[in-house]
Structures are given as C-alpha cells and as structure tokens.
Amino acid sequence: MKEFQLIEHFFNSRAQSRRDVELGIGDDCALVQPAANKSIAISCDTLVENVHFYPDIPPQALGYKSLAVNLSDLASMGAEPAWMTLALTLPDVDEDWLKAFSTGLFDAAEYYGVSLIGGDTTRGPRSISITINGQVPTGTALTRAGAKNGDWLYVTGTLGDSALGLDVIRGKRQVDTEYNEYLINRHYYPSPRVLAGQALRHLASSAIDLSDGLASDIKHVLKQSGVGAVIDVDLLPRSPALTDSLSETEAFSYALSGGEDYELLFTVSEAQKGALETAMAHTGVAFTQIGQVTSGNELRLIRNGERFNLTNIGFEHFS
C-alpha cells in the first residue's frame, strides 16, 4: 500500500467534516473558518516509540492516547476542540496496526468533535505528532500565569493511577486482580478534562494539565505567576486502586510525581470558591482542594504540619 492509498483508506475515509472546515485533507493546506470573537488555541505533541510508549502498546490505545494528550492541553486553557493534523512516521505499512490505530484515534476524535484536516506520512522509526486546534471566547483562555497569593489549589480526578498502571503493564508491580483493568486503562485511555476546563474559564486564575507529575508541573504555574505554594500531601486524591496496592509513602510518591495523569491543576480565589462548586457540578468531574498559593517562589510539601520530602520530581526530557 502506497502513501496516498494509506491516507485515503485509514484516515480520510473516517475524517468527520465540521461545518467550519472549508477544505480538508487532499490539498497543500487545509482551510478553516474560526467562529467570530474566538481565539484559536494551538498545541502540538509528539509521541516517540521507546520514549513515550513501548512497542507492545495496543495500537488502538495508542491512537486514542495520541489525541487525548493533545486534548488535555486544550482543556487546561478552557478551549473547545475543533481541528487536528497528524504526522505519522512508520517503519513499514502494517495494515492491521493501522486499522486499530486509526480506530482509536477516531473514537477520540468523534467523541470530542475533532476533525482531521491534514498531515503527513513518512517512513522511519515509529512516532506520532498531532497538532490540535481549539477555540476559546476571546479574553477567557486560562493560562499558567494569574495565580495570586491566597488562591486555593485544586486538582481534578485522582493522581498516580496512570504511572502505577504503566508499572503493572511492564511487570514492575503486582496489584489485586480487581484493580488491573482499571489501572491499565488509566494509562492507556486518559480522560482529558475538556468540559471541566470550559467550566473554569471565568473562575480559575490559572491552570495547567498534569503530564509530567504534579510536583513538576505545578512549578510552571508558580514560575509564570511569580508565586509559591504549599501542598498538604494528605489531601491528594488517590484511588482505592492506588492506596490498596502501595504503602502510604509509595502512594504519595506516585500521586506527586508519577506523571501522565492528564488531570487539571488549577487555582481559584477565595471569592470564587462558591461559584466553583456550582460550575463544576454539571461536568461530572470530581475535584479536590490540595493546598494554597503563597507569596515568594517556594513549593512546600507538608504533612501533619511538617515538611514532606520528595526525591522523585517527575519526568523531564534531556535531564
């Protein structure tokens, strides 16, 4: 199968058409028509085999996750997903692999209303690069800057499950059978908090998605906002699968630095706490207060009023 046959068979045939797409796959560029009074939010993520995923990952899960991690970036800015491009590098044409990969990709795309409007395919070591575009009402986008002294820190969902799921997949951890499927799915099929991000537009003072681990990602917010923070590790939301499978210290470590949670970390002022409850109620997403923004620039982890030390600070490329 040649390049253009591959594109037509596995991707163009399933690419849904949005009314705001003037010209999609098949030309030198795609053409889209943004809505009035909307800003365009753009993000790009690359997943490389043996860096971001192992060769034995189910291709359907890889297709879904490739888009989900991009959707999480849009969620952190309160944006509505719209269009994407896909650059796919493959060592060879494996039709069974491509069928499963594209199924996972379009399962996510159709659920979140994303149209594939272009991209590229080439031969080489397997990698997936997606550029996603979303729209957000002008002036309402959430950013990493804006957190202020006294704001409260929140996270959505639970933390650490994805990292534990990966260790279960790799045979580094054993857990009770009842938790296996849940943990593995938390790693393979993250839930980008798109609706929650939109609910936070007029409430949160800052936001970020958690890809490299809470203890690592929060530092981007603190730097951009020029503030510090204190986190009470006892408040970190942890699932029964995490707490029942690990010692207390290990559970804290996974929750703080495990990575690939793709939950949202956000800050809210005291004045907006009541409105937050109302706004988040319709999203179906749990959220937990874990600490507070402080003056200065230090991140302090505490437990029972005492400093809590963490040695593992999260993933970073080229470190």
Q: Does 20 belong to an annotated binding site?
A: no
Predicted confidence at residue 309, as pLDDT, reads 84
Instruction: Give yes or no for residue 1 having a pLDDT over 80.
Output: no
From the number of C-beta atoms within 10 Å of its C-beta (0-12, 13-18, 19+), residue 305 rates as exposed
Short-list 1, 12, 20, 136, CA closest to 86 = 12
Q: Report the b/e string of 119-157 with b at 16+ CB within 10 A.
A: bebeeeebbbbbbbbbbbbeeebbbbebbeeebbbbbbb
Strands 115-123 and 228-232: unpaired
One-letter amino acid identity for 228? G
Q: Does 28 belong to an annotated binding site?
A: yes
pLDDT digits (tens, 9 = 90+) for 42-74: 999 999 999 999 999 999 999 999 999 999 999
Q: Does 120 belong to an annotated binding site?
A: yes
Q: Does 151 belong to an annotated binding site?
A: no
Predicted confidence at residue 259, as pLDDT, reads 92
Task: Summarize the chain as % helix, strand, coil (round to 5).
Answer: 35, 25, 35
Predicted confidence at residue 201, as pLDDT, reads 96
Domain ranges of the chain: 3-137, 152-305
One-letter amino acid identity for 96? D
List the Cα angle 49/55/61 in 5-degree steps. Answer: 90
Q: Does 173 belong to an annotated binding site?
A: no
Q: Does 277 belong to an annotated binding site?
A: no
Q: Does 39 belong to an annotated binding site?
A: no
Domain 3-137 and domain 152-305 have a common topology = no
pLDDT digits (tens, 9 = 90+) for 76-107: 999 999 999 999 999 998 899 999 999 999 99
pLDDT digits (tens, 9 = 90+) for 146-195: 999 999 999 999 999 999 999 999 999 999 999 999 999 999 999 999 99
Q: Round to whole Å and give the CA distance between 2 and 72.
A: 33
156 phi, psi to nearest 5 deg: -90, 160
Q: Round to whole Å and give the CA distance between 76 and 264.
A: 6
Instruction: Give yes or no for residue 319 having a pLDDT over 50.
Output: no
Instruction: Give yes or no for residue 312 having a pLDDT over 60.
Output: no
CA distances from 310 to 36, 47, 214, 229 (A): 47, 28, 12, 15
Q: Does 161 belong to an annotated binding site?
A: no
Instruction: Give yes or no for residue 2 having a pLDDT over 80.
Output: no
For 3-137, which CATH superfamily applies?
A: PurM-like, N-terminal domain (3.30.1330.10)
Q: Does 244 belong to an annotated binding site?
A: no
Q: What's the half-sphere exposure (Cβ side, CA atoms, 13 Å) at 190? A: 34
241: helix, coil or strand? helix
Q: Round to whole Å and give the CA distance between 256 and 219.
A: 12
Instruction: Give yes or no for residue 251 having a pLDDT over 60.
Output: yes
Instruction: Give yes or no for residue 315 having a pLDDT over 60.
Output: no
Instruction: Give yes or no for residue 317 having a pLDDT over 60.
Output: no
Short-list 70, 79, 78, 80, CA closest to 18 = 80
The encoded tokens of residue 46 equal 């690359």
Predicted confidence at residue 5, as pLDDT, reads 63
For 152-305, which CATH superfamily applies?
A: PurM-like C-terminal domain (3.90.650.10)
Average pLDDT along the chain = 92
Q: Does 107 belong to an annotated binding site?
A: no
Short-list 1, 5, 12, 9, CA closest to 119 = 12
Predicted confidence at residue 13, as pLDDT, reads 60
Paired residues of 115 in beta bridges: 83
What percentage of the chain reaches a pLDDT higher than 70?
Answer: 92
Strands 204-209 and 287-294: unpaired
Q: How many residues does the chain have?
A: 319
* pTM for the full predicted model: 0.92
The encoded tokens of residue 136 equal 């957000």
Q: Does 217 belong to an annotated binding site?
A: no
Give the confidence band of 235 by pLDDT, cuts at 50, 70, 90. very high
Q: Which helix (H) or strand (E) holds 250?
A: helix 248-257
